[in-house]
Structure 1
Amino acid sequence: MSETAGPYRTSTYYVKADFTVERGKVTADSYEYTDESGSHKQPVAEDMLANAQGGNVDFVGFTMKSANFKNLSDVAQKYTAKLYGAVALTLGEREEVANTILSRDGEKLIVPIYKGTKRGVILIFQIFEDGKLVQIVGTPDPEIGNSTSGT
């Protein structure tokens, strides 16, 4: 029997989304990414790496930490957001892993990434006004990376 190297661990990045709403539509948005320790991360592959497991495929998780809304309208609506899914593209490589990933719970999702590659990822948020879906918003694409060393 072979021994396992230890429990598998997915690298997770937390997303804080800030939306500005005017007349019922998001007119501006910004996103902040942090890791499990709370350290701020730039949305580039060199700063958002998979936790190398030594295999061919690793995974990067995104979890919505918070969604804040600034309402520029006079009407007091209640806005909320859910992480709906992601679209991922392996950069400079042939596609062999999932490109459309849906969130099962509206808060988190997992993106597969082959060893030695980078993926552009657009996170997609659903925007609700008083509980009714009114808009879909995509992020500027952060890149995620996976080292070739397995460390």
Structure 2
Amino acid sequence: EVLSFNTSNVVAYKDRVLVNEEDFLRVYDLSGNLVGEKEGYTFSLTTLLRWTLLPTERYIFRYEPLEDTHVITWDIKQVETLPGFPQFANDHFVVTSKNGVLHCYSLKDFHEVFSVEMPEDDGLIKLSDDGRVMLVSGENGGYWLYVSSENNF
């Protein structure tokens, strides 16, 4: 089965498809059935070709330009707002950046687990499933490895 949409803003995640149509964020299943929609929740690519929308198993992290990251469920209900741009997320943690600082939040209760200053303009960020190890690549080829010694998880 083939799905087609009248937009280039489409993000696939497992068995769901997120689509920015007109002024709506729409979530479809793989059969093309509309699962949820919300007016005004648009998304796009940034100038650095990063989506302003980051899906995970439980949540969708949607960046509102010049504002913060909205944590929403797959049926498009907002549960939290976190500062900054969503850089990385897995099923347990999300990493956002704001004002030169990377912030890692637990998805259990949205408390901040740690924060570190970005060494330079960040490129790619990866975080271990347990949130204790983070790899940050710089836009100019450098890499930084952070290992947490805290028990704040």
- TM-score, scaled to structure 2: 0.23
* Rg larger for: 1
